[in-house]
Chains A and B, each alone.
Chain A
Amino acid sequence: MKEYTVIGQRVPRIDGRQKVMGQAKYAADYSLPGMLFCKVARLPVAHAKILNVDTSKAERLPGVKAVVTAKDFNGWTWGFMANTRDEPPLAMDKVRYYMEAVAAVAAIDEDAAEEACDLIKVDYEELPSVFDPEDAIREGAPVVHDYRPNNVSVEYHWNFGDVEKSFAESYLVREDRFRTSRATKGYLEPPASLAWYDPAGYITVWAAKQSPYFHYRHLAACFGLPLSKIRVIQPFIGGGFGGTKNDSVAGDFCAVMLSKMTGKPVKFVYTQEEELTISKRRHSMIVYNKMGMSKDGLITAIQSRVIADGGGYTAVSPLTMYLTGCCTPLPYKLPNYKYDCYRAFTNNPICAAMRGHGVTHTRFACEIQMEMMAEELGIDPVEIRMQNAIDNPKPGEIYRTINDMTLKTCGIKEAIQTLVRDPLWAQKDKAPKQDGSVSYGVGMSATSYLGGARQLGHQSCAAIVRICEDGTVNLITGATDCGQGSDTVLAMIAAEELGVRYQDIDFKMVDSAYTPVDPGSYGSRVTVLAGQAVQTAAADAKKQLLDILGREWKVSPEEIEIRNAEVYHRSNPSRRIPFDKLAKIACYSGSGAVIIGKGYSGYGIEPLGFENGRGNAGTSFSFTAQTTRAGVDMETGHVTISDFVIAHDCGRPLNPIGAESQNEGGAVQGMGQAIYEDFIMDRGKTLNPTFLDYKMPRSTDVPDIKVIDIITDDPDGPFGAKEASEGSHVSAPPSVVAAIHDATGIWFKEQPVTAEKIVAALKEKGKWPGKQ
């Protein structure tokens, strides 16, 4: 195998210097002269018919320059699919969730804008509301949207093989009800944008978007302008994790509308409390899972019936519900599978994508249920996994799941075996099991996640590699780094392919006026797909350079190599020039050549079968096995997670620092979800919309984490890469819950496994050491 010069090196982030110096500018850091401030007015009712919105008092407040209400948007709505465009920028006829936006104000400062919002008077008639997803889809429930009178916003019914026959023939069949928490992304940078509507008919925004090109299309459609006049300039993004920053929010549309109305630039920044109250969060799902097994522990069939709490609008959920179902046949062989899902409209805040999208719910259910059954059959957690796990296909071969997903590489068995050898698992029986009131346990999980996600519509990433005459390179893509490190990885790919040094590459962030259109940063698609585009573009630029030098040197271009920014003749390496010399020769050849390489991604462009669940949800699939050591205080129920070991098959880690950091961060976010993160709801109102009350892991809460790479070199990825961002987020919750089981002897089927739930369960089993 060719030895890489850049790939696999522990390079500093390409944006690292700006970030450590405080020079990285995020959306809220931008200002323009004469700028106004926008605040959004919201109605504190979960379900109500709007009778009248009176803005007259607000308009008269000194400092207020304009007020926008729903009528200014002429009934425009947006959404993920043509038949689910149900969300308006501002509520029109009714509000469907607590604190839905009804108006917005532009004023000379934030104080005036906020005061004006309080002066907006909304006359409304409260409507019967529904908050429980199972109640919502029962007959006679209050209707959230007239176009879905049964409150079912999305449903799929897939059937592969014959589950009924298989259950009848199985030695053991189990049915359980699982539930996942109401978790949120928890990024520190709330949604923000600075908008400027040029009266000549141009829109420019500096917006906090991890997928700026969704927003670009939304703005064009909302304001009736051609895409060529929409300019979304991407600032640094303060965390994404899916959902909100992949989409547009009320403030985005209102700021542009208010700029249009006032002729001034307008900025909005949501407060964190606003974000935590109304922004798109993860679905909480109820999973009724049924699994069959043979006497020796082979999985014979799985039937999942999923009911998801969707909140007030559809958003991206047709994809959510697809992903929730499609990956169940991974990472274990599954011959029969049935999936029925119902996403319910309720009067809760909107639910949408979040890291580990969809897969985290059903994989949690399947993983825990499989262990429960293994326990009944007296089979060890490792053995049950190893005998069901999918083998790594031989080079050139493909493993096909029952729903037609195809794998060319699968490192799950190697990952499990690696963990078995690691001291955390190997010596678990030697480590103390009890220390005072604390019981210790070790748990395992084995999971999978897709990389290079597909959906409907535009799929391809593109890249431009522009050679400067001094031998440096501008890398231009439509990809967005919301923290995951993709700008760095893409620069590494360009450098490796072109043969220059990493530091020779300069990465240009998205500006939709100049950068190529791109689907965005979701579904772990950037390294795989934008990476392929960059590799192709770099190869194209290299070919142009070598053609010119070949003519100059009177040799075939194939005889010339570029490596480490040195250009040399393969069979006569003493004939060499530095890369900057080649760039100069190329750029000045003839009347002056412009060396621009271009490329686009070609993986994964066949459409998905949304209705039948068949086909590849991604280009390739990562595999993760994880072990966790937990201590559970049997008196208080307090859980301390001390160790994570994560064996992750991301094909090949291109930037080891980035891949490790993604695994570590994903697992810690998953840990939060497993043991404490949850919105407490009261009739649609979020009772804990602050970081004080919505508990996220702090530095004192996190375990020691070891990440081990399982190298499989997938043929459908740049330099063998698959995804590295979401796998550990899926593996953490079942591994944590298995560790809590090992410590307490109790299986918990509902996330988060809080101290309160642990104490209640210990009491129920008569295991609580305190006084009843």
Chain B
Amino acid sequence: MEQIKLTVNGKGYELQVRPWASLLEVIRDDLGLTGTKEGCGEGECGACTVIMDGKAVNSCIVLAVEADGRQITTIEGLAEGDKLHPVQEAFLEMGGMQCGFCTPGMILSTKVLLDGNKNPTDEDIRKGLEGNFCRCTGYTKIFESVKAAAQKIRR
């Protein structure tokens, strides 16, 4: 077992992890934060997206030991109590989801996109979400949600 330190959603953890455990396994199984989803386990679908030191990563292909000392944000860390983050609000209002399985990852990728670019073009939005599959919506309502979120953040 390896000892690691993580900050997840602002809270510090010291954990003993198997050397081959993924960050996703640690988040879901050790921390009980099941909002982060496993779709493929191979870094293809983006359902397990979390924010690590400001970057969107597929937590299923990041080893927990690689995340040692890093700052992690999961979907549970976005709202402040009952108050939704503007990106969450926008997805809720514009209907940027159906089954919801890709939604946590999609929202976190959107946050990273908008943190770096408050005026994304259509092309920027498409590129920013390229790593996140959605099989339900055909992406149209997700694009609308991202635009609405950008507008909320600019206000």
Q: Is B132 an interface residue (CB 8 A)?
A: yes
Contact present for B140 and A664 (CB under 8 Å): yes
Contact present for B126 and A699 (CB under 8 Å): yes
Give bound CA distance, A16 to B96, whole Å. Answer: 9
Contact present for B36 and A22 (CB under 8 Å): yes
Q: Is A690 an interface residue (CB 8 A)?
A: yes
Interface string of A658-680 (1 = CB under 8 A from B): 10111011111100000000000
In the assembled complex, how far is the CB of residue A520 from the closest CB belonging to chain B, in whole angstroms?
16
Contact present for A15 and B100 (CB under 8 Å): yes
Residues of A within 8 A of B120 (CB): none
Interface string of B62-94 (1 = CB under 8 A from A): 000000000000111011000010001101111
Contact present for B135 and A23 (CB under 8 Å): no
| Given known A20-B84, A22-B104, A187-B101, contact A690–B42 (CB-CB < 8 A) | yes
Residues of chain A in range 245-295 having any CB-CB distance to chain B below 8 Å: 269, 271-273
Give bound CA distance, A236 to B104, whole Å. Answer: 14
Q: Is B102 an interface residue (CB 8 A)?
A: yes
Q: Is B130 an interface residue (CB 8 A)?
A: yes
Residues of B within 8 A of A692 (CB): 42, 44
Contact present for A271 and B41 (CB under 8 Å): yes
| Given known A24-B100, A239-B101, contact A188–B141 (CB-CB < 8 A) | no
Our count of residue pairs bridging A and B at CB distance below 8 angstroms stands at: 172
Contact present for A13 and B95 (CB under 8 Å): yes
Residues of B within 8 A of A20 (CB): 84, 88-89, 91-92, 97, 103, 107
Q: Is A422 an interface residue (CB 8 A)?
A: no
Residues of B within 8 A of A273 (CB): 40, 42
Instruction: For chain A, give the interface size range.
Output: 35 or more
Contact present for A699 and B140 (CB under 8 Å): no
- Among B125, B126, B127, B137, max chain A CB count under 10 A is at B137
| Given known A13-B97, A485-B98, contact A189–B39 (CB-CB < 8 A) | yes
| Given known A21-B75, A691-B44, contact A665–B95 (CB-CB < 8 A) | no
Which of B39, B41, B101, B139 is in CB contact (< 8 Å) with A699? Answer: B139
In the assembled complex, how far is the CB of residue B64 from the closest CB belonging to chain A, in whole angstroms?
15
Contact present for B126 and A482 (CB under 8 Å): no
Q: Is A25 an interface residue (CB 8 A)?
A: yes
Residues of A within 8 A of B136 (CB): 239, 483, 661, 665
Q: Is B47 an interface residue (CB 8 A)?
A: yes
Give bound CA distance, A647 to B76, whole Å. Answer: 39
In the assembled complex, how far is the CB of residue A114 from the closest CB belonging to chain B, in whole angstroms?
12
| Given known A21-B75, A669-B135, contact A188–B37 (CB-CB < 8 A) | yes
Query: Looking across the interface, which residue of chain A has its beta carbon closest to that of B108?
Result: A22
Contact present for B35 and A23 (CB under 8 Å): yes
Give bound CA distance, A29 to B74, whole Å. Answer: 15
Tell me if A's interface is mostly helix, strand, loop or mixed.
Answer: loop
Residues of A within 8 A of B40 (CB): 188, 272-273, 690-691
Q: Is B45 an interface residue (CB 8 A)?
A: yes
Count of interface residues, chain B, beta-carbon cutoff 8 Å: 53
Residues of B within 8 A of A219 (CB): none
| Given known A188-B101, A485-B98, A665-B98, contact A12–B133 (CB-CB < 8 A) | no
Contact present for B137 and A22 (CB under 8 Å): no
Query: Looking across the interface, which residue of chain A has its beta carbon closest to that of B95?
Result: A657
Query: Looking across the interface, which residue of chain B has its beta carbon closest to that of A185?
Result: B135
Contact present for A189 and B133 (CB under 8 Å): no
Contact present for B141 and A699 (CB under 8 Å): no
Residues of chain A in range 202-228 having any CB-CB distance to chain B below 8 Å: none
Residues of B within 8 A of A482 (CB): 99
Residues of chain B in range 132-151 having any CB-CB distance to chain A below 8 Å: 132-143
Contact present for B137 and A661 (CB under 8 Å): yes
Give bound CA distance, A188 to B60, whole Å. Answer: 14
Contact present for A668 and B139 (CB under 8 Å): yes
In the assembled complex, how far is the CB of residue B90 from the closest CB belonging to chain A, in whole angstroms?
9
Contact present for B130 and A698 (CB under 8 Å): yes
Contact present for B130 and A700 (CB under 8 Å): yes
In the assembled complex, how far is the CB of residue B85 from the closest CB belonging to chain A, in whole angstroms?
9
Q: Is B56 an interface residue (CB 8 A)?
A: no
Residues of B within 8 A of A691 (CB): 39-40, 42, 44-45, 133
Residues of A within 8 A of B92 (CB): 12-13, 16-17, 20
Q: Is A484 an interface residue (CB 8 A)?
A: yes
Instruction: Please list 9 pairs of residues, one from A and one from B, whose beta carbons are closer than 8 Å in the complex, sorted by A's number.
Output: A13-B97, A16-B97, A240-B99, A272-B45, A484-B98, A662-B98, A691-B42, A691-B45, A699-B139
Interface residues in chain B, defined as those with a beta carbon under 8 Å from any beta carbon in chain A: 28, 33-42, 44-45, 47, 74-76, 78-79, 84, 88-89, 91-95, 97-104, 107, 125-127, 129-130, 132-143
